[in-house]
Amino acid sequence: MFQRGVVAIGRLTVNGIWKIGAGTAFIGNVIARSKMTFARPRLFINEIYFAGTLSLIIIVVSGLFVGLVLGLQGYETLKRYGSAEAVGTLVALSLVRELGPVVAALLFASRAGSAMTAKIGIMKSSDQLSAMEMMAVDPFQRVITPMFWGGFFSMPLLAAIFSAMGILGGYLITVVVIGVDGGAFWSQMQASVDFQGDILNGIYKSIVFGFAVNAIALFEGFDCLPTAEGVSRAVTRTVVTSALAILALDFVLTAFMFTGA
């Protein structure tokens, strides 16, 4: 029993180390073979459509609802202290610093990340990647790299749209519905949101999340067992690993960006 436990732990550790190594080599390969993506912008634009444009609905609707809830909760709390006008600041800071990058990345991982893993996994299990190789077309350059960069550039844009929609949601609920003064809502927001400290840091976060989610999604697809079960497990792993990576990276980045200043 004890021996079996040790073997299991050993196997998990070795597999984990192997996976980190293989994943790093995979990302190295993606970056090294990126030339074609930028030489043929059409490939890259198609992937921005696939990862970015097709994720717009979920990002816009979720952003709006998060803003509505944030506005409502913020107003109810701030009203007790007589500073209901500060709700604009609260909504904007929460969104651009945290909720925008983090929730948009979580949604991106579930919508686009899972689709990427499934697409690569199915291409692998139905020999499409292998067939491409035998046609002397490098699947890394032709399929994987454009997907990576398409997703990578979509992520910060989606996070920005999420934040903008959230602020709009906050405005709608507090100013239009509840009747908070619109001038105070915007002016307090303008006065307290710093471009460098808040907005840029939020964008940096979404760039890091974009790199992580796309790398995880493509690696899981490429590394999956070429069976229906293998692809389904890989999709699950993409969503779970991406979510954990986003939250862990968010903590680390927040610790560096917003403390001690």
Partner 1 sequence: MDEKPTNKSNSMIEFESVTFCYGARKILDNVSVSVPTGKITAIFGGSGTGKTTFLKLVGGQLAPSHGTVKFDGQSIGGMSYKQLYAARRRMGMLYQFGALFTDLSVFENVIFPLREHTDLPEQILRDLAIMKLDAVGLRGARDLMTSELSGGMARRVALARAIALDPELIMYDEPFTGLDPVATAVIANLISKLNDALGLTSVLVTHDLEVSLNIVDYCIFFAAGSVVGQGTPDEIRQSDNPLIKQFINGEIDGPVPLHYPASDYRSDLGLGG
**Interface with partner 1 by CB under 8 A: which residues?**
122, 126-128, 130-131, 133-138, 142
**CA distances, 222 to each of 18, 31, 232, 235 (Å):** 15, 15, 13, 11
Helix (H) or strand (E) holding 5: helix 2-32
Please report how close the Cβ of residue 214 comes to partner 1 at its closest, in angstroms: 19
- 133 or 181: whose CB is closer to partner 1? 133
Please report how close the Cβ of residue 251 comes to partner 1 at its closest, in angstroms: 38
Secondary structure percentages of the chain, helix, strand, coil, to 5? 90, 0, 10
**CA distances, 206 to each of 13, 44, 104, 140, 212 (Å):** 30, 19, 8, 24, 10
- 77 or 227: whose CB is closer to partner 1? 227
Helix (H) or strand (E) holding 180: none
Please report how close the Cβ of residue 144 comes to partner 1 at its closest, in angstroms: 15
Place of tokens 């686009």: 112
- 104 or 218: whose CB is closer to partner 1? 218
- 139 or 166: whose CB is closer to partner 1? 139
Please report how close the Cβ of residue 29 comes to partner 1 at its closest, in angstroms: 12
